[in-house]
Amino acid sequence: MNNTSLKSLPRHIKLAVLVASLGYFVDAFDLMLFSVLRIQSLKDLGLEGDELLAVSKNLINWQMWGLLLGGLFWGVLGDRIGRIQVLFGSILMYSLATFLNGFVQDVSQYSILRFIAGLGLAGELGGGITLVAELLPKEKRGIGTTIVATIGVSGVIFAGVVGNLLSWRQVYMLGGVMGFLLLLLRIGVNESGIFNSIKTKDVKRGDIFMLLNSWPRFLKYVSCIAIAIPTWFLVGILITFCPEIGVSKGIEKPLLASDALIWCYVGLTVGDLACGLISQWMKSRKKAILTFLIGETISLLLIFFLPLSEPWQFYALSVPAGFFVGYWVIFVTTAAEQFGTNLRATVATSVPNLVRASLIPMSTGFIYFKQSGFGVLESAGLIGIVALGLAFWGVLNLKESFHLDLDYLE
């Protein structure tokens, strides 16, 4: 069997990979919409000046709280009632909330709907990766999840493009419509056989306390979370707040978050593909992630310390920085492989959302340092040092999972 192809697999498995990929595409599109649309939408709602930064932080935090709570809710549900039901419910919720975002009239409405969208978005990636990982043979898991990643993260590029072509209200409505259309594809997707095999067994499923009442299991869970924090430092701090960072770097022309996101995610899309293939070639998740973390450290040093005078220079450096955080889905795959079937959806769904929710303390710390007298660039740099340190600790603390058979219980 060719380890680099999914052609020989049954149709229902290939359909599951396609649906998970398109689901992640819509998820990524929706998740980054606020970063693309924040200035345009908030100015349209009557905000100006310093209000933009403070309200932006609060709205991002509302969405992240939704992701945090939704990650736990959908993860537990995925282990108790099934992966397919979670995918259906989560996309219905975030599609409706995103569509309604196109009609908000004030910041309060905006906050509520971004929170609900976050709740829904939380179930998509983890549920899809869990389903694909359990359906595919172990020698092809990395290929399947790489396809999901490569198609999925390109949704952010699409968000950046349409954010420059349509009004912010039209972009939100488009995101909702895409989600509703995706629901039609879900109809033909089968449940994971591995999950079905444990439904009648007398075993705890989706018990979040199992992650807390065992120190080795808890440490493994925290390590999984720590690995990917640099991804959201890059996207949530450096890219989202690039207009302010550009001023701090002395770039006279304003930086646009939408353009920075496009270039960052061009790199990230290629990086996800490359990391998946490198992981297959090395037959190691850990070595691939470590390689990319080293590359990301170098890329961030270039952004912080190279003198920049033009927007294109920042955008150009965003490409390698995005490339080297392109281990996102390999990180989710690793998390899914580290835990048994009765906890797998709980972990694979909650871990990426806890990483996303790490933006809450990171953005709060960023604003705190800035208000304490540090410059914008220095404040971001302090947060970046912590993010990278946690990531290296996390990956070194985990066991290799490339060859693991996933048909086991905690």
Q: What mean pLDDT do residues 197-207 have?
A: 83
- Picking from 151, 142, 169, the residue whose alpha carbon sits closest to that of residue 28 is 151
Return d(Cα 310, Cα 293) in angstroms, integer.
27
Return d(Cα 38, Cα 64) in angstroms, integer.
15
Return d(Cα 4, Cα 204) in angstroms, integer.
36
Return d(Cα 240, Cα 238) in angstroms, integer.
6
**Residue 110 covered by a domain:** yes
**Residue 409 covered by a domain:** no
Residues with Cβ < 8 Å from 223, sequence gap 6 or more? 393, 394, 395, 397, 398
Return d(Cα 274, Cα 91) in angstroms, integer.
28
pLDDT grade for 291, boundaries at 50, 70 and 90: very high
Return d(Cα 100, Cα 256) in angstroms, integer.
25
Return d(Cα 222, Cα 358) in angstroms, integer.
12
**Average pLDDT of the chain to the nearest whole number:** 90
Return d(Cα 113, Cα 41) in angstroms, integer.
14
SS3 112: helix
Tokens of 243: 């207009």
Q: How many residues does the chain have?
A: 410
pLDDT grade for 100, boundaries at 50, 70 and 90: very high
What 8-state DSSP symbol labels residue 9?
Answer: S
Q: What mean pLDDT do residues 130-144 have?
A: 86
pLDDT at 245 over 90: yes
Q: What mean pLDDT do residues 267-280 have?
A: 91
**Residue 406 covered by a domain:** no
pLDDT grade for 1, boundaries at 50, 70 and 90: very low
Tokens of 277: 């293939």
Tokens of 51: 């209000």
Tell me which of 28 and 5 has the higher pLDDT. 28
User: By mean pLDDT, which of 127-131, 234-238, 248-252 is the weakest?
Assistant: 127-131
pLDDT of residue 43: 93
Measured from the Cβ of residue 25, the count of other Cβ atoms closer than 10 Å reads: 23
256 phi, psi to nearest 5 deg: -110, 125
pLDDT of residue 5: 59
Tell me which of 404 and 149 has the higher pLDDT. 404
**Residue 124 covered by a domain:** yes
What is the domain extent for residue 263?
11-193+204-397
pLDDT of residue 2: 46
CA dihedral 327, 329, 331, 335 (to 10 degrees): -170
Q: What mean pLDDT do residues 108-125 have?
A: 92
**Residue 133 covered by a domain:** yes
Return d(Cα 327, Cα 331) in angstroms, integer.
6
Q: In which residue are the tokens 């999840």 written?
A: 145
SS3 151: helix
241: left (phi over 0), alpha (psi -120 to 50) or beta: alpha
**Residue 404 covered by a domain:** no
Percent of the chain with pLDDT over 70: 99
**Residue 104 covered by a domain:** yes
Q: What mean pLDDT do residues 359-382 have?
A: 91
Q: Indicate which CATH number applies to the domain containing 115.
A: 1.20.1250.20
pLDDT of residue 193: 80
Q: What mean pLDDT do residues 216-242 have?
A: 94
- Picking from 226, 221, 223, 229, the residue whose alpha carbon sits closest to that of residue 359 is 229
The number of distinct structural domains making up the chain is 1
- Picking from 104, 95, 22, 119, the residue whose alpha carbon sits closest to that of residue 55 is 104
Break the chain down into helix, strand, coil percent, rounded to 5. Answer: 80, 0, 20
**Residue 402 covered by a domain:** no
Tokens of 363: 């953005």
Return d(Cα 22, Cα 17) in angstroms, integer.
9
pLDDT of residue 384: 97
pLDDT of residue 145: 84
CA dihedral 356, 360, 361, 362 (to 10 degrees): 70
Percent of the chain with pLDDT over 90: 52
